[in-house]
Chain A
Amino acid sequence: MMNRLLGMAFLAMSILYGLAARDYKASFGDPLGPAAFPMIIAIPAALLSLAMVLRPDPDPQWERGAPMLKQGAALAILLGYVALLEPLGFPLSTMLGTALLARLVGTRWSYAAIAGISISLLLFFLFDRVLGLPLPAFPDFMS
């Protein structure tokens, strides 16, 4: 069933993709224009999605419960890290992100803190100082 749903989603996407291409017009340039190539690839993509709907593969095994929560938490950490990178500066946000990820892997808070501090400082020193790649060093409110 999941395979069928995914196939339907891809089918809808391919059709919308092909239809959207009709609006791309250019008054000059080559005979093909910007619309033709997307329309050409939309057709087989839609047919392949249709094949997925009609003859679906067996469904994948989903992990429920704790693993799923952990995946969600990992995703939240990654997104939160990116959002906080510039406001907090590289060392601080990396320290937080690393520690939380390490904790999520399943170690003690104390080890997670060690991982956070050592990895963030190591990477900051290596990339910002040794390799000369400027990273935001301090939180916004301090600089």
Chain B
Amino acid sequence: MDILAALAAGFAVALTPLNLTLAAIGSFLGTLIGALPGLGPVNGVAILIPLAFALKLEPSSALIMLTCIYYGAMYGGRISSIMLNIPGDEPAIMTTLDGYPMARAGKAAQALGISAMASFIGATLATVGLTLFAPLLAKAAIHFGPSDYFALYVMAFATVGGVVGVNPVKTLFAAFLGLMLATVGLDPGTGTARYTFGSFHLYDGFDPIVAIVGLFAISEVLVYFETLHKSSDGMVKMGRAIPRLREVLQGLTAAFRGSAIGFVCGILPGAGASLGAFVSYTAEKQLSNKDGTFGKGDPRGIAAPEAGNNAAAGGALIPMLTLGVPGSGTTAVMLALLISLNIQPGPLLFTREPDLVWGLIAALYLANLVLLILNIPMVGLFTRLLSLPQWLLMPFVVMVSFIGIYSISHSVFDMFVMVGFGVLGYVLRKFDFPIVPVVLGLLLGADMENNLRRALSISGGDFSILVNSPIALGIYALTLAMLALAFYMARKAKHGPDVSD
């Protein structure tokens, strides 16, 4: 009953005209960004964070708008996957496998309808899960001490990006690279300047938002020019705009299964939406691929990963809000936003800022409804945007990124840093390093170090405190199991049959 009362209070926050408008705008912009090829939720949220600052929004309103952008981009990601065979971002890759063949067979509207329905189911179930489990986890997390948090950060890094095909050595190194970047600047404990090379510009360290926009948006520009000369297959014809209900319902049970799997993947710190989509698709394929229709336009092959990635997106909010440990790239960006709004996520957030948390959760229910409306009857509008010429779109996105960074600090130095991170991001992507662990490292490095130092202050310098608590031990055991699984899967992917066919 507590939860219902809290949720009702949340709806009171979310239903103010301002927040309702922001939720609608956020959903619309998010879908738009998600639909554009090469621009995923991480980019979208990172580029639009400055907008939230520029509008001088209250923290709760800013968070509502950006989370709606996040959900919207998850919905929109499927549009370019289905219509162009170009996933807007990593989680949408699985949707191309059956979505594009189906669209080529003249059933684009049906594919878009099924995926919108599946997205709605996944996102709504995940929001219900968030409502039920987040307060529980927040209550449990109050008992976490500094050494437990340290263990939690270790787990987030060890499990991040556990998607098959990525070399785990590179994933782990990416996390350490992020941690190294996080130590640049004045040390929070003692005020010692570290790795600043005498430049006072670096005393504040690297702003995570600057790094994120560089790593994702600017590196995308460099990738874009590399692939420019390769012709794409072109956009498929839309056909009738609104699908029949019977057709949309074909993937319904697959969507429910995908939601459950995706939600669990989303909660794991560091796992995120890509894993949710991947596991949902593979599980559904193993369960339902009796006639070999998967990969040729099976409705269940669209419903499962779409429900999976949207459910994971919702699930990823749980560790971000309750523990301050994001479960995906986008929640990492939102964590950066919260920190810059002077809000420290964690177990106390639920007792200290109930309006913010519950307003956000209520807004998510509303956003899902808005998104369903935007994505079934109005999907034609977004598909038309895909035919906008690149010479207009690409420079526009670049310039918005630059304005965003300039508006945060009015510092040209930060803009150079952003371009630098763009080059770094390009090199890392070229060599198959995942980017998200770098962001997580940069974002969580300071907290990780502070918790380590706090734990050792308590014990007077005795390192055994790190493994003295049962909570920390449990987290380490889980981490080891997941690491073993990641290395096993990577080995299997290398030697065994190709699982991604």
A-to-B contact residues, CB < 8 Å = 2-3, 6, 10, 14, 17, 20-21, 24-26, 28-34, 37-38, 41-42, 44-45, 48-49, 51-52, 55, 57, 60, 62-63, 66-68, 70-71, 74-75, 78-79, 81-83, 85-86, 94, 97-98, 101-107, 111-112, 115-116, 119-120, 123, 127, 131-133, 135
Minimal Cβ-Cβ distance residue in A for B187: A34
Contact between A119 and B395, CB atoms less than 8 A apart: yes
Please give, as numbers and ranges, the residues of chain B lying within 8 Å of A6 by CB-CB distance: 427, 431
Question: Given A45-B173, A67-B229, A111-B391, list of 9 further CB < 8 A pairs?
Answer: A14-B176, A37-B183, A37-B449, A45-B177, A60-B430, A70-B226, A79-B419, A82-B415, A119-B396
**Nearest Cβ on chain B to A34's Cβ, whole angstroms:** 4
Minimal Cβ-Cβ distance residue in A for B390: A105
Known: A29-B190, A41-B179, A75-B222. Is A85-B406 also a contact (CB below 8 A)? yes
Tell whether B475 is near chain A: CB-to-CB under 8 Å: no
Docked CA distance A101–B389 (Å): 13
Docked CA distance A83–B424 (Å): 20
The residues in B between 172 and 192 inclusive whose CB is less than 8 angstroms from any CB of A are 172-173, 176-177, 179-180, 183, 187, 189-192
Contact between A101 and B169, CB atoms less than 8 A apart: no
Contact between A30 and B457, CB atoms less than 8 A apart: yes
Tell whether B402 is near chain A: CB-to-CB under 8 Å: yes
Contact between B225 and A97, CB atoms less than 8 A apart: no
Secondary structure of the B contact surface, majority rule: helix
The residues in B between 239 and 298 inclusive whose CB is less than 8 angstroms from any CB of A are none
Please give, as numbers and ranges, the residues of chain B lying within 8 Å of A42 by CB-CB distance: 180
**Nearest Cβ on chain A to B353's Cβ, whole angstroms:** 26
Show 23 A/B contacts (Cβ-Cβ < 8 Å), sorted by A. A3-B431, A10-B173, A31-B456, A34-B190, A34-B194, A57-B170, A57-B432, A62-B430, A67-B227, A71-B226, A75-B222, A78-B221, A82-B415, A82-B419, A85-B415, A97-B395, A98-B396, A104-B225, A115-B392, A116-B395, A123-B399, A123-B403, A131-B54
**Most chain B CB inside 10 Å of its own CB: which residue of A3, A6, A63, A105:** A105
Docked CA distance A81–B395 (Å): 12
Please give, as numbers and ranges, the residues of chain A lying within 8 Å of B460 by CB-CB distance: 31
Please give, as numbers and ranges, the residues of chain A lying within 8 Å of B215 by CB-CB distance: none
Contact between B189 and A34, CB atoms less than 8 A apart: yes
Please give, as numbers and ranges, the residues of chain A lying within 8 Å of B225 by CB-CB distance: 67, 70-71, 74, 104
Docked CA distance A135–B176 (Å): 37
Contact of A37 among B402, B406, B452 (CB under 8 A): B452
Known: A29-B190, A127-B407. Is A115-B453 also a contact (CB below 8 A)? no
Please give, as numbers and ranges, the residues of chain A lying within 8 Å of B412 by CB-CB distance: 82-83, 85-86
Tell whether B88 is near chain A: CB-to-CB under 8 Å: no
Docked CA distance A29–B453 (Å): 10
Contact between B192 and A34, CB atoms less than 8 A apart: yes
Minimal Cβ-Cβ distance residue in B for A105: B391
Please give, as numbers and ranges, the residues of chain A lying within 8 Å of B392 by CB-CB distance: 102, 115, 119
Docked CA distance A119–B400 (Å): 10
Docked CA distance A28–B170 (Å): 37
Please give, as numbers and ranges, the residues of chain A lying within 8 Å of B226 by CB-CB distance: 63, 67-68, 70-71
Please give, as numbers and ranges, the residues of chain A lying within 8 Å of B190 by CB-CB distance: 26, 28-30, 33-34
Contact between A71 and B222, CB atoms less than 8 A apart: yes
Please give, as numbers and ranges, the residues of chain B lying within 8 Å of A17 by CB-CB distance: 180, 195
**Nearest Cβ on chain A to B206's Cβ, whole angstroms:** 15
Please give, as numbers and ranges, the residues of chain A lying within 8 Å of B396 by CB-CB distance: 98, 119
Tell whether B55 is near chain A: CB-to-CB under 8 Å: yes
Docked CA distance A94–B402 (Å): 10
Contact between A30 and B189, CB atoms less than 8 A apart: yes
Known: A32-B452, A98-B399. Is A49-B179 also a contact (CB below 8 A)? no
Contact between A78 and B419, CB atoms less than 8 A apart: yes
Tell whether B5 is near chain A: CB-to-CB under 8 Å: no
Please give, as numbers and ranges, the residues of chain B lying within 8 Å of A57 by CB-CB distance: 167, 170, 431-432
Tell whether B79 is near chain A: CB-to-CB under 8 Å: no
Tell whether B228 is near chain A: CB-to-CB under 8 Å: yes
Docked CA distance A48–B178 (Å): 14
Contact between B403 and A135, CB atoms less than 8 A apart: yes
**Nearest Cβ on chain A to B203's Cβ, whole angstroms:** 14
Contact between B391 and A97, CB atoms less than 8 A apart: no
**Nearest Cβ on chain A to B312's Cβ, whole angstroms:** 27
Contact between B402 and A82, CB atoms less than 8 A apart: yes
Docked CA distance A115–B420 (Å): 26
Docked CA distance A125–B228 (Å): 31
Contact between B398 and A78, CB atoms less than 8 A apart: yes
Minimal Cβ-Cβ distance residue in B for A120: B399
Tell whether B218 is near chain A: CB-to-CB under 8 Å: yes
Please give, as numbers and ranges, the residues of chain A lying within 8 Å of B427 by CB-CB distance: 6
Tell whether B473 is near chain A: CB-to-CB under 8 Å: no
Docked CA distance A130–B492 (Å): 55
Docked CA distance A10–B177 (Å): 9
Docked CA distance A127–B170 (Å): 40
**Nearest Cβ on chain B to A70's Cβ, whole angstroms:** 4
**Nearest Cβ on chain A to B307's Cβ, whole angstroms:** 33
Tell whether B386 is near chain A: CB-to-CB under 8 Å: no
Contact of B422 among A29, A78, A132 (CB under 8 A): A78
Tell whether B423 is near chain A: CB-to-CB under 8 Å: yes
Docked CA distance A84–B169 (Å): 41
Docked CA distance A49–B349 (Å): 38
**Nearest Cβ on chain B to A143's Cβ, whole angstroms:** 16
Tell whether B394 is near chain A: CB-to-CB under 8 Å: yes
Contact of A24 among B187, B394, B395, B402 (CB under 8 A): B187
Please give, as numbers and ranges, the residues of chain B lying within 8 Å of A75 by CB-CB distance: 222, 419, 423
**Nearest Cβ on chain A to B28's Cβ, whole angstroms:** 16
Contact of B195 among A20, A29, A33, A119 (CB under 8 A): A20
**Nearest Cβ on chain B to A69's Cβ, whole angstroms:** 9
